[in-house]
Amino acid sequence: MNRLKFRRVAAIAAGTLIGLACVATVAGPAMAHHPEPSGTYCAAPDGKIIVSWTVGNSETDIEGTITKLESTVPGSFTGALALNAVLPKKGDGPLTGTQAHTFTGAPPELKLTVEARWERGDRIITEERTVSAQPAGDCAATESPSPSAPTTPEPTKSPEPTKSPEVTLSPSSTSPTATPSSTATTPSEPEEPVFRLEETCDEMTFIVENPAKGIPFTATFTTEKGVTKKLESTPGKTSSVTFDAYQGLKVTVSYDVVEGSETIEYTQPKKCDEGEGGGLPVTGAATGGIAAGAVVLLAAGAILFVVARRRRVRFTA
């Protein structure tokens, strides 16, 4: 009797542990691949606004690629930050770039939109993020100390302190006084949503994370075959739209809050051609299948329990 009871408990425990192990192994938390942009700006003595951008990688084991680089600052980037540049792994150093421009009047909000792409196993992840540059004081202070330091001790050049405020402070005083007013209005502006594209061997999924301080909008997705789907994005929620993937798939995206549209072509991961599946999980899309497998294993444990119970009955008879 004790042996049969032990077998019954062992059968149930085995089915339960196997099912839970599968769920814990595969249905782990989603991996969030994303660029990590930041920026600062200062006013130069010649009236230019100098903006320094930095873009890092959220992943420590895989490099990314910069697929979009848009700035509200006119002019090109100086530095390693560029379109199609390789985004080093986290810990290997970020990409940096500088822009300089002379604005007439108060400068607009200085923003940078970065899109990066990662290919991990049989999945391609593309995510876009937008950041605003933060004020970093007056960059004229780094250039003026060297000439002013040797001249101030001399009595004959004492009038020079009266000239330096006219040369250095006049351009910098106009821009810093204008920029705090612009930065003061930024909290009232809505936050930018986060756009993510995930491409697998079977699906093409568009994901929109709308922040709590965002605005509601509707996105329309239309394929080259005329299949149309709509995505209603509300603040504080994440929404998604999925299409069955195939060679030649093209999806045109338009929004009701802005003009214009963008066409995105499906890119098949390399692992699909090699016939290799798997790869590290990026989202919880496969959680349902794994949970179903766990249920089957739990059911198997229950069946073993019934079998053990029947054997016990026959034994006592």
Each residue's pLDDT tens digit in the chain (317 positions)?
444 444 454 444 444 444 444 433 333 334 579 999 999 999 998 889 999 999 999 999 999 999 999 999 999 999 999 999 999 999 999 999 999 999 988 778 999 999 999 999 899 999 999 999 999 888 865 444 444 444 444 444 444 444 333 333 233 333 333 443 444 444 567 888 999 999 999 999 999 999 999 999 999 999 999 999 999 999 999 999 999 999 999 999 999 988 889 999 999 998 887 665 444 444 444 444 444 444 444 444 544 444 444 444 343 33
Q: Name the CA dihedral angle for 134, 138, 141, 143, rounded to a multiple of 10 degrees.
A: 80
One-letter amino acid for residue 281 of the chain: P
Backbone angles phi, psi at 48, to 5 degrees: -80, 150
Q: How far is CA 138 from CA 46, 160, 162, 169, 229, in A?
A: 12, 20, 19, 9, 49
How many CB atoms neighbour CB 157 within 10 A?
13
Whole-structure pTM value: 0.61
The DSSP secondary-structure symbol of 102 reads -
**How many Å apart are CA 283 and CA 28, to the nearest integer?**
9
Q: How far is CA 167 from CA 43, 44, 49, 231, in A?
A: 13, 11, 16, 54
